[in-house]
Structure 1
Amino acid sequence: MKVLVIGASGRVGSDLAKQLLAANHQVIGTTRQEEKLFDADNYSQLDLDITAGKDTIQSQLDQDIDTVYFVAGSGGKDVLEVDLHGAVKTMQAAQDKGIKRYIMLSAVFSLDTSKWDNPGIADLKEYYICKHYADQWLVNNSTLDYTIVQAGALKERSGTGKIAVNDGDSGENSIEDVATTLAAVLNANNTIKKVFSMHNGETAIDEALASV
């Protein structure tokens, strides 16, 4: 497949792009960096500014892209421009371009405001507001074949290949396991039009996704 990874230079995005490249997908990675992120024949790079206008973003997208991944993040800076408005503009651009599949990396409990006073979330309230309304737009205002993956806290540690989904806990995730889950969603058609939470657990990723 021809896959666009928005945020390919990020912690999850770089790992996701590596896995998609290893699976022989044609990957277009977006980054504001000039240096090419990956030296692979099936990789190309796009300097995509998601704070630009929707039409500008849309003009840079190839017509034959099969799937868009949104794994970009503001890192706490310009959350409105990146995590909310930037994300929605990429959804609108993909939809107007005729691209159907859109896979969003979000945050655990992004759509459940009753959990926002929990430790670890209360300090990220502005980020959560942005993710909440971006996810709402994707679900309620787009015609995209979306999947929203709501990950708990990201940790720099080795992946286990095992996760838990939709168990009501926030939990923690190795970055590698989040990337592996996102990559697996590409071929898991049962996750289309679904939102699910994840954290490291005891079930193999493919088996866990089959239960979504």
Structure 2
Amino acid sequence: MTRNVLVAGAHGQVGQYVTDILADSDHAVAGMIRDDDQADEIESLGADPIVADLTESVEDAVDGRDSIVFTAGSGGGDVYGVDRDGAINLVEAAEEAGVERFLMLSSMGADDPQSGPDALEDYLVAKAAADDFLRESDLAHTIVRPGELTNEPGDGTIRVGDFELGDGDIPREDVAQTLVAALERDDLAGATFELLAGDEPIERALEGIDAA
């Protein structure tokens, strides 16, 4: 199925990988960015740049899209304004626009923010609230929760399961490949899963996830 996908946070490290992968596929892809100065980089990845601010109106950005991949983040800045409220704003706009699929890049530890390091607690609380809001929406959603992100080259292999912060890490490139693979699997609608670097090919690993 060919999708019309909006990548929110397309200029971020994971977002650029996602945008590049989608642009090299049969899908139509637009990269949502906050700064117009980033437009040339998004075009160089093969996507249409869309300038919009998650904390403001995003209706024009979601118009005509059937799928959204949320990879945006505050980078440790305004976690409640971006990671929570910005994500919720985009979910609400997606519902209103009739978007079919919504992929959320979350974080391992979001199911129990108080168990993580103090420095990450606000971030994890914000991610948990965004995840919960998405689950309560009418969108066919998938929530992906990786461990610590690295800039090592991806090799297309992961492991999924029940993990805790500190159990391991995963290259950003493999997280992006997992998000795109999950987008193309309607049987993962409703699923939330954690992932780390592993030795199982991504497609095979995703086959073992129960979305019920």
Q: Distance in 2 between matches of 1:173 and 1:31?
A: 25
Unaligned runs of 5+ in 1: none
Per-residue CA deviations over 1:46-76 (Å, capped at 9, x if unaligned) read 1110111xxx21244223x120011000001
Residue 29 (structure 2) aligns with: 27
Q: Distance in 2 between matches of 1:159 and 1:124?
A: 25
TM-score normalised according to structure 1 size: 0.90
Which amino acid in 2 is paired with 1:47? V
Q: 1:176 to 1:196 in 2, by over 3 A?
A: same
Is the aligned partner of 1:178 residue 2:175? yes
Q: Distance in 2 between matches of 1:152 and 1:201?
A: 12
TM-score normalised according to structure 2 size: 0.90
Per-residue CA deviations over 1:12-39 (Å, capped at 9, x if unaligned) read 0000100001113111101123232244
Aligned residue-pair number: 203
C-alpha displacement of 1:190: 1.8
Q: In the alignment, is the contact (CA less than 8 A) between 1:163 and 1:200 conserved in 2?
A: yes
Residue 132 (structure 2) aligns with: 136
Residue 51 (structure 1) aligns with: 55
Q: In the alignment, is the contact (CA less than 8 A) between 1:190 and 1:210 conserved in 2?
A: no
CA RMSD of aligned residues (A): 1.6
Equivalent position SS for 1:24: coil
Is the aligned partner of 1:82 residue 2:82? yes
Q: In the alignment, is the contact (CA less than 8 A) between 2:14 and 2:172 conserved in 1?
A: yes
Equivalent position SS for 2:204: helix
Residue 201 (structure 2) aligns with: 204
Match runs of 1:1-212 below 5 Å: 1-33=3-35, 34=37, 35-39=39-43, 43-52=47-56, 56-63=57-64, 65-113=65-113, 116-118=114-116, 121-140=117-136, 142-170=137-165, 171-212=168-209
Identity score, percent = 34
Q: Distance in 1 between matches of 2:22 and 2:11?
A: 14
Which amino acid in 1 is paired with 2:145? Q
Unaligned runs of 5+ in 2: none
